[in-house]
Structures are given as C-alpha cells and as structure tokens.
Amino acid sequence: MASSISLTRYLVEKQRQHGHIPAQLRLLIEVVARACKRISISVNKGALGDVLGTAGSENVQGEVQKKLDVISNEVLIEANEWGGHLAAMASEEMDSIHVVPHRYPQGEYLLLFDPLDGSSNIDVNVSIGTIFSVLRKVGHSRGVSEEDFLQPGKQQAAAGYCIYGPQTTLVLTVGDGVAMFTLDREQGSWTLIQEDVQIPHDTKEFAINMSNVRHWAPPVKRYIDECLAGKEGPRGKDFNMRWVASMVADVHRILTRGGIFMYPWDKREPDKAGKLRLMYEANPMAFIVEQAGGMATNGQQRIMDIQPEKLHQRVSVMLGSKNEVERVTGYHQSPTA
C-alpha cells in the first residue's frame, strides 16, 4: 500500500525544503487543523449533539448567531490561546480582538477567522466551513491592538479553510501553492489528497445569488446577462449556475473544477461595500485562489491590495477562473469596452 502523507509530514517537509515555515507557523496550522477536527465532530452530530438552531444572540454585524457559530468560535479560541504561537485573534463573531492572556507566552502571529461559514446551511445539512487567515505582528511595539491586524491581504503568511461536507477537507496555502487534506476519521489524521491545486483559467460556470439581480450595478448585470444569453449571445457558449450560499463550498467547487464566484456590492445597502468580510472571508479566499492560478478582485482592484480600515470591513468579491474575473473586472473599469 502506498504510504499516505499526513498534514504534519507535509508541513515538516515544506519546512525542510524551503525553510519558510517557521516552527511557530507550523504549530499554528496544526492547532487550527485540530480545532477544525473538533468542529467537524460537532457538525456531524447535528441534532444529536444539540448544536442546531440559534444561540439567541447577535454578532457585531447584527447577524443572529447560530449555536455552531458560537461553539466553533470557542473551540478556535481555546485551541489557540495557550500554544505560544499567537499574539492575538480576531473573529467575525467577536466585537473586538482577543489578546492572548498574560498567563501564556505571546507569539508573533495574528489569527483571523470566520469560525462557521454558511450559517444558513447548518440546520438544512448542507456543506459549511471554517475560514482562517494568518498575519505576522509587524513592528516591535509592546502589546497588540486592532491596528496590528489592519494589513492588506498580500501580507498573509498563510490562509486556509476547512469544508464540512460529504468529506471534511482542509485546504491550505503558505504562499507556496495550494494543498488539500481530507480527514481520515478512522486514523484521526489529515491526509494529503492533492498538491499544487490549479483553477482552470476558463470556465462555463458562475456562482451568484440571482435573487439580487435587480440590485446589482450595471457591470455585474452585463456580465451575468451575457452568460445567460448562452450560445446565441456574445459569449458563444452556454453557462451553468451554482449557488450553495456557503462561500467555502462555492470556492471549493471552483478549486476543483473552475468557475467564478461573485458577491458584489448592491443597492440594498449602498453604504456597505458588499456583504462578505474582507479580513475573514475575502482575503484568505483570495490568497488561496491566487495561489491556485486564479484571480480575486472587488471589481476595481485586487482584493489583497486593499488597505483595511476596520476589522469587520465588508467588500465586494469576484474570484475564481482568471479569464472570467478579468472580464468582469474589465467591465467595471471601462464600462463601455
């Protein structure tokens, strides 16, 4: 039997080959992966584990929290605060940053996460996930504050997500391509299933919440109208549509077989840049997608170039197959082209 490669072995070998995964980062990734394993167990228990339904609280963004949003957040905090690899954490589900308590050593990394992505799918047994992003604490100032987190996505040291679907799969980049690991429940370990994941540059599949069509800006409407026109339209080919309403699941499909994902700005809340969060959703996914040969923009610029102003900042997102993202971004930049 061919020997399988575990996440630990993958990280150790990366560290040896390139020396660019410092020990603290390796530990961080393993701890996050372990936390995802725990979340996966809760997700799988569902009603039997009393984890479905709402928690009866709201997060800082005014969204109703599900029990699993809160549980997953706690699992990630507890798992990560004592290892000495982190200075602080920030989460979609917490108003402000969580600084590592003084009783533990402080590390050099900052961890950001969307503990449970796709909350509306929890109770209906559809794929959900955890998304994470890792930054270095730059500068030598004592203590850590929200400002330390406000770094553009291009400064991420690592990013990943775990999808809790028919299989539980961890997708990871440390800036050296994208690798996928599936949880082997009998062994209790993450096993490498694919290295050097590549997103095809062309696609015939788009993902967008079509119910918002009347609220979109003209460039997005034009792009989708052209896809819908199919073979007889300007694109000269038929397109297929998918929308899981869990970003992890939509991005995972795109990493597997290509496609474009969009959650653009729309007129419902014109003052918000978009629905998705820059620091917990857009940046980590943009890093993964770019590392897999895809592209990620907000219609105007590369997502990872955006200088964040606030921790919970929202952003318009278009990502996936390079030629399609380039096209819709072009429609924003020169609307008549």
- Whole-angstrom distance, CA of residue 59 vs CA of residue 272: 17
Name the residue nearer to Mn ion (CB basis): 195 or 269.
269
Instruction: Give all strands of the β-sheet with 205-207 in edge-to-edge order.
Output: 240-241, 205-207, 260-263, 317-320, 295-297
Cite the DSSP H helix spans in 184-299.
Answer: 218-228, 247-257, 283-291
Q: Is 119 in the site for ligand AHG (CB under 6 A)?
A: yes
Residues 58-77 binding ligand AHG (CB under 6 A) are 63
- Among Mn ion, ligand AHG, none, what does residue 246 contact (CB within 5–8 Å per kind)? ligand AHG
At residue 45, what is the residue type?
Answer: K
Binding mask 274-293 for ligand AHG (x = CB under 6 A): -x------------------
- Whole-angstrom distance, CA of residue 123 vs CA of residue 69: 12
Q: Is 120 in the site for ligand AHG (CB under 6 A)?
A: yes
Name the residue nearer to Mn ion (CB basis): 22 or 165.
165
Phi then psi dihedrals of residue 245, to 5 deg: 75, 15
Radius of gyration of the chain (CA): 20
First CA to last CA distance, the chain = 56
Name the residue nearer to Mn ion (CB basis): 92 or 250.
92
* Segment near ligand AHG (CB under 6 A); pick from 116-124, 216-224, 286-294, 305-313: 116-124
In the complex, least distance from residue 261 CB atom to ligand AHG, rounded to whole angstroms: 8
- Among Mn ion, ligand AHG, none, what does residue 284 contact (CB within 5–8 Å per kind)? none
Q: What are the Cα distances from residue 156, in Å, to 136, 150, 273? A: 7, 11, 22
Q: Is 117 in the site for ligand AHG (CB under 6 A)?
A: yes
Secondary structure of the chain: what % helix, strand, coil (to 5)? 35, 25, 40
Give Cβ neighbours of residue 153 (< 8 Å, ≥ 6 apart): 133, 278, 282, 283, 284, 286, 287, 303, 304, 305, 306
DSSP state of 3: P
Q: Which of 43, 86, 90, 114 is the binder for ligand AHG (CB under 6 A)?
A: 114
Name the residue nearer to ligand AHG (CB basis): 27 or 282.
282
Q: Which of 245, 302, 308, 327 is the binder for ligand AHG (CB under 6 A)?
A: 245
Question: Of 178, 183, 180, which Cα lies nearest the Cα of 168?
Answer: 183
Q: Is 246 in the site for ligand AHG (CB under 6 A)?
A: yes
* Segment near ligand AHG (CB under 6 A); pick from 6-14, 79-87, 226-234, 243-251: 243-251
Q: Is 57 in the site for ligand AHG (CB under 6 A)?
A: no
User: In 21-166, at which residue ranges do the beta strands (DSSP E only) sit?
Assistant: 54-58, 64-66, 86-91, 98-99, 109-117, 128-136, 158-164
In the complex, least distance from residue 115 CB atom to ligand AHG, rounded to whole angstroms: 8
Which residues of the chain form contacts with Mn ion (CB under 5 A)?
Answer: 92, 114, 116-117
Task: Say if residues 94 and 24 touch (Cβ distance below 8 Å).
Answer: no
Binding mask 81-110 for ligand AHG (x = CB under 6 A): -----------x------------------
- Among ligand AHG, Mn ion, none, what does residue 264 contact (CB within 5–8 Å per kind)? none
Give the Cβ contact number of residue 70 at 10 Å: 19
In the complex, least distance from residue 146 CB atom to ligand AHG, rounded to whole angstroms: 20
Q: Is 209 in the site for ligand AHG (CB under 6 A)?
A: yes
Query: Which residues of this protein are in contact with ligand AHG, per CB under 6 A?
Result: 63, 92, 114, 117-120, 209, 245-247, 263, 275
